[in-house]
Amino acid sequence: MSWDKVTSPAQLRTVARWGALRQSPVLFVLVAAVILVDQATKWLGWRRAGAIINPGGNWLVGRTIGGWYADPLTGPLLDLLSLLLVSVAMSLLVRGRRPAIVLASGALMLGGWGSNLLDRLGVHHWTAPGSGRGAVDFVHIGRYFYNFADFCIIGATTLFLLSIASVGWRAKAPAAGRRRPAAEPVRLNSRQDEARGPS
């Protein structure tokens, strides 16, 4: 069903659901791409760039929450809560048709969060064998260390919030009942009819 044939609110909902289904693969591909690039760069960073393990938060969340993440008891609980929040955010982003900028920035943001979360849930044993629980950081800027996922989180979250503020959360759809005008049938005049003769 295309936009020009939408005539009722029910058809609008059907088209919106179909649009959301068509956007879902894009979302999952972007999230997977961020995770793959991040994990590959962490693998290289651990072996070649003097990476460190970040067991908790960073300057964005402060020392107290960072300490909770680093704690052997509260850390795994916060990781499970983070997993739930990332899953809910992904589900919300997939439901309904989103503007391209909202979808892309949301996918990059979730990919970054998801990849750092995977580190804390055990993937760090592959990227940084012999290390403790935490995310692998290897890009040294000032007093802090970062990774590719951190840059995705910072940049994409900013873009996500700005895009929602400017274009909104849902993609715009035409109002119900709007159609493209149908082409008028071509009518031959009587002289042309006579010239053609009986068919």
How confident is the model over 160-189, as pLDDT tens digits?
A: 999 999 988 787 765 554 555 555 555 556
Report phi then psi at 52, rounded to 5.
-120, 165
pLDDT exceeds cutoff 90 at 72 = no
pLDDT exceeds cutoff 90 at 114 = yes
pLDDT, position 181: 55
Helix (H) or strand (E) holding 87: helix 74-94
Residue 127 gets the label, from left (phi > 0), alpha (psi -120 to 50) or beta, of: alpha
| Tokens 């049938």 belong to residue | 185
| Tokens 């892309």 belong to residue | 104
User: Which band of pLDDT confidence, cut at 50, 70 and 90, is reported for residue 15?
Assistant: very low
Per-residue pLDDT, averaged over 89-109, amounts to 89
pLDDT exceeds cutoff 90 at 105 = yes
Give residue limits of the domains in the chain: 24-171
Sign for the CA dihedral angle at 41, 46, 48, 51 comes to: positive
User: Which band of pLDDT confidence, cut at 50, 70 and 90, is reported for residue 192?
Assistant: low
Predicted confidence (pLDDT) per residue in 29-66, tens digit: 999 999 999 999 999 999 998 888 888 766 666 678 77
Cα–Cα dist 145/161, whole Å: 25
User: Is residue 159 packed enough to be buried (19+ CB in 10 Å), middle (13-18) or exposed (0-12)?
Assistant: middle
141-147 own/partner pairs: CB under 8 Å, 24+ apart: 144/58, 144/59, 145/51, 145/52, 145/54, 147/38, 147/41, 147/42, 147/45, 147/116
Whole-structure pTM value: 0.70
Least confident of 7-11, 32-36, 136-140, 195-199: 7-11
User: Which band of pLDDT confidence, cut at 50, 70 and 90, is reported for residue 194?
Assistant: low
pLDDT, position 12: 46
Identity of residue 196 = R
pLDDT, position 198: 61
Sign for the CA dihedral angle at 34, 38, 39, 40 comes to: positive
Q: Which residues of 41-77 are buried (b: 16+ CB within 10 A; e: fewer)?
A: bbbebbeeeebbbbbbbbeeeeeeebebbbeeeebee
